[in-house]
Amino acid sequence: MARAARQVGADPVRLLAFAYIDKPVALIGCDELSPLMRQVLRGWGMTETVVAECPQTDIVIRRTKKGYSRSSPWLAHSISFQNPVNAVCDFLVDLTNAYLADNPQFLCLHAAAVLLDDGLALFPGIYRAGKSTLSVHCAAAGFRLFADDVLPVDGKTKEGIAPGILPRLRLPLPDNSDAAFTDFVGRHEGPRSDRYLYVDPEPDRFAPRGTRAPITAIVLLERIDTGAPEIAEISSSETLKRAIQQNFSRALPALDILDHLQDIVSNARCFELQYRTGEEAVDLLRRRVQGKA
C-alpha cells in the first residue's frame, strides 16, 4: 500500500521516476544515491525532479543517523545501510518488486541469463552455485549478458526480458579466477563497496532493460572442488522442479505459473553443469550448448 504524504522539514525531496513503474522513488537528504542508481541501471528511463514535500509513494529512502533508511510495502519494517552502494544494492530488490507489481503479466525467475547465439541460456539461482560470477565470465568470453540474478519472463511469448541491472559480484573475487577474468573485471569496474562490486560491460556484452530473447537452454549449476568438469543433458521434469523453486512472481495464480514454466522447460534443452572454474564452465557451454538449442 502507498505511504502517506509527509512533511520533510528543511530536506528537499528528490523524486526519481522510472519508465516501467507507476510511482516515483523518493530520496530525502540522500541525493548522492541518484548517480549510483544511474550507474547500475540501463534502459530504465530515469528522470528526476525536486519538490518540497514527499507525495504518496511506495519506496522512500531517507538519510538518518543509522544511515540510508528505506521503507516500502515489501518490507515489514524500514531497513538501513551505512554504505551508499550497499543501500542501492538492496534498493534494487524493491525496484524489482515494484516492476513486477505494475507488470503482473510477467513471471520472474531467480536466475542468471546469457545470450548464446540466438537464444538464452538460463542459470537458475541455486545457492552458492556461482551464477553471477559465471555470467560475468560469459561476458568476458564475448557473450551478451542479460541478467545475473533475476530474469523477468513474458507469460505470453515466454521470452526472457533483460532487467537492465548491472551484474554484481561478491568480494573478494574467487581465488581460482584466471588473469583474463580479473583483467576484464578491472577494466569494467563500476560502483563498489566492501561487499560488492558492479561490473559495467560494453553495450554489445550487456543487454539494456527490455531487450528480449527466447529461452533455449536451462543449465543447472553445481560447483565442485575435485574431479573433472562435466555437462550432461537431464530430464525436463527434474529441471521443472528446480525452476518452480526459483520463481517469485506473486500476481499470477499458481496453476498459471506452473503452465508457463512447463512451456518454458519443454521448449528448452536442459543440462546439469559441474565445474570448478568459470573458464571450465564457459568452455563446456561453448562446446555443448551454444548453437545446439
Would you list the domain boundaries of the chain?
Answer: 13-102, 106-288
* Rounded average pLDDT over 177-189: 95
* Chain segment 191-222, per-residue pLDDT in tens: 999 999 999 999 999 999 999 999 999 999 99
Q: What percent of the chain stands above pLDDT 70?
A: 89
Cα angle vertex 33, ends 27, 38, to 5°? Answer: 110
* Chain segment 131-179, per-residue pLDDT in tens: 999 999 999 999 999 999 999 999 889 999 999 999 999 999 988 888 9
Domain at 106-288: CATH code:
3.40.50
CA distance 280 to 216: 21
Q: List beta partners, residue 113.
A: 122, 147
The predicted structure's pLDDT at residue 244? 64
- Quote the distance between the C-alpha of residue 258 and its chain's center: 22
- Of the candidates 244, 230, 247, the one whose C-alpha atom is nearest the C-alpha of residue 287 is 230
The predicted structure's pLDDT at residue 240? 81
DSSP 147: E
Which triple of cell numbers denotes residue 124?
A: 537458475
Tell how many helices (H) and how many strands (E) occur in the chain: 7, 17
* Chain segment 6-59, per-residue pLDDT in tens: 444 568 899 999 999 999 999 999 999 999 999 999 999 999 999 999 999 999
Per the listing, cell 533455449 goes with 216
130 contacts 224 by C-beta, under 8 angstroms? no
What's the pTM? 0.90
Least confident window among 16-25, 239-248, 259-268: 239-248
> 144-147 and 119-124: which strand pairing?
unpaired
The predicted structure's pLDDT at residue 127? 61
Q: Is the pLDDT of residue 253 over 80?
A: no
CA distance 32 to 24: 17
For residues 143 and 238, the model is more confident at 143
Q: Is the pLDDT of residue 126 over 80?
A: no
Q: Is the pLDDT of residue 258 over 80?
A: no
Q: Which of 103-112, 213-222, 257-266 has the highest mean pLDDT?
A: 213-222
Per the listing, cell 525452476 goes with 243
Q: Give the CA distances from residue 175 to residues 136, 178, 220, in Å, rounded to whole numbers and listed in that order.
A: 15, 9, 22
